[in-house]
Amino acid sequence: MMRGAVGIWILSAVICMGRGHHLNHGHHDHHADDSHGNGQVDQDTASDGSANSLPLVTLANKEFAYRLYMKLAAHADSEGKNIFFSPFSVSVALAALSTGAREETHRQLFSGLGFNNTLLTQTDVDQAFQILLKTTNNTPPEDTSEGTAVFVDNNFKAHPEFLEALKQSYLADGFSVNFTQTTDTANTINKYVEEKTNGKIDKLVENLDPNTVMYLISYIYYKGMWATPFDPKLTKEDIFMVDENTKVPVQMMNMEEHFDTYYDRAINTSVLQLPFNSSYSMLLLLPDDMSTLENAICPAHVTKWLKWMTSRTHDVYIPKFSIKTSYTLNDVLIEMGMTHMFDNRANLSGISDAHKLAVSDVVHQATLDVDEAGATAAAATGIGITLMSFRHIPVLKFNRPFMVVIIERNTEKVLFMGKIINPNI
């Protein structure tokens, strides 16, 4: 019996600037076959619970976002690195994998993702992600796309039910490749990834293990324009305080305008909402002490901030920056209890029971570009700087490490989150 490796690659690109080509997915009819489920709850229960599955999965996704952030922060702090990732993209990839997991491997995936397997069946979870993915991809005019793809070795026979579940519920594109032809297959995967992220991630795969039989990819691409763009003429060189001993030069954008803000006294953090020209917003969090914020932040904070924000004029300074992050998430996911899928205890027989499969790597790449957001003549109009020097205008200057969260305001779905320690790396 051959041992095969299943690679999971999760990629994310978010660009906060001008317009771009909108990527659309095809529509799929839902495939409500429970043959790829965990079998712990009967189909009648699944049907009864399906109406409640979306809020349960949505809440679990939010909580998973902050738990995963804490793990990444713990690993990154010792190295002084920026953090940026898409928790939703990670959730999608692991939920898609769970359709092929069984027994303890499945229980660990569900538990790690925050899904209660007494309330949610695999079919419930699949239905919820289908709705979430379709909602994002069918919401014009945002330049947004989310989805998955599966690359299967042409000598490997996966269960049709598994592939069908990926196609129907996770909007997966399917490809047959020859993993022994490592260079050609790497090029095929990289070309697909580059297209789906509009060139932001162009070299995902460099070294392919010829023992690989399947690659499962989750991607998310978001390109938003600020509802109120920054005027490029006001962008000036300034100093960013990485820490007490390290200062770096940055291009600091500036705008004096009405902003929605909140000061959270419980954790001494200033919160600024920068809305995109859509239902999405970027929340920028400037704490007095970063560890206090990181140890406390949870979904309830975002709910509170959005509810109690007030609008008033602020003089806001935000650095322009472009960062790229890359993670191998194996150790982090093992710390979160998802251990079996990486070793010989893995039970991925829902993918294939003719082969002993294990996950080789879970890799995540993300990019974030923030600039004045479409420095066109139209975008620069209507930003008059008035001589209202008689009244005090508070200054909110992001010139030291801050957190960033990109959310959908109505659902508070977390597309991306991270921490900018140094805008120049």
* E-assigned strand segments in 355-400: 356-370, 395-397
Q: What single DSSP character describes residue 276?
A: B
User: pLDDT below 50 — which residues of the chain?
Assistant: 1-9, 12-49, 141, 374-391
Sign of the dihedral defined by the CA atoms of residues 99, 109, 68, 274, in that order: positive
Long-range contacts of 52-57 (CB under 8 A, 24+ apart): 52/119, 53/120, 53/124, 53/125, 53/127, 53/128, 54/127, 54/128, 54/131, 54/132, 56/115, 56/116, 56/119, 56/120, 56/124, 56/128, 57/115, 57/120, 57/124, 57/125, 57/128, 57/129, 57/132
Question: Strands 3-16 and 356-370, how do they pair?
Answer: parallel
Q: What is the pLDDT of residues 86-97, one digit of tens each?
A: 898 889 989 999
How is the chain split into domains, by residue range? 3-224+323-368, 232-319+376-420
| pLDDT score for 209 | 75
Residues 6+ apart with CB under 8 A from 279: 139, 408, 409, 410
Instruction: Give the number of other CB atoms < 10 A from CB of residue 49.
Output: 17
For residues 153 and 216, what is the distance between their CA atoms, to the nearest angstrom? Answer: 12
> Residue 64 CA to chain centroid, in angstroms?
11
Work out the angle at residue 159's Cα, subtended by the Cα atoms of residues 184 and 61, and round it to the nearest 5 degrees: 85
pLDDT in the model for residue 392: 61
- Using alpha carbons, list the distances in angstroms from residue 382 to 18, 231, 259, 373, 377: 17, 10, 15, 15, 10
Strand 83-85 to strand 413-420: parallel, antiparallel, or no bridges (unpaired)?
Answer: antiparallel
pLDDT number for residue 38:
41
Burial 54-71 (b: 16+ CB within 10 A, else e): bebbbebbbbbbbbbbee
On whether the pTM is more than 0.85, the answer is no
Q: At 125, list the tokens.
A: 């979870």
Class at the top of the CATH hierarchy for domain 232-319+376-420: mainly beta
Q: Extract the tokens encoding 225.
A: 């324009």
The HSE-up count of residue 108 (CA atoms within 13 Å, CB side) is 21
Token readout for 98 is 């769970």
Query: CA-based angle 18:23:29, to the nearest 5?
Result: 150
Residues in contact with 135: Cβ distance below 8 Å, sequence separation at least 6, in sequence order: none
Q: Collapsing DSSP states into helix, strand and coil, what is residue 123?
A: helix
Beta bridge partners of 247: 241
CB contact at 8 A, 302 and 425: no
> How far apart, in whole angstroms, are the C-alpha atoms of residue 119 and residue 110?
11
Q: What pLDDT is stored for residue 79 in this prediction?
A: 66
pLDDT of res. 140: 54
Coil, strand or helix at 6: strand
Tell me the fold of 3-224+323-368. Answer: Antithrombin; Chain I, domain 2 (3.30.497)
- Reduced to 3 states (helix: H, G, I; strand: E, B; else coil), residue 295 is helix
Return the pLDDT at 25.
31
Phi, psi of 17 (to 5 degrees): -160, -130
Cβ burial 121-137 (10 Å sphere, 16+ → b, else e): bbbbbbbbbbbbbbebb
Burial state string for 280-294 with b = 16 or more CB within 10 A and e = fewer than 16: bbbbbbbbeebeebb
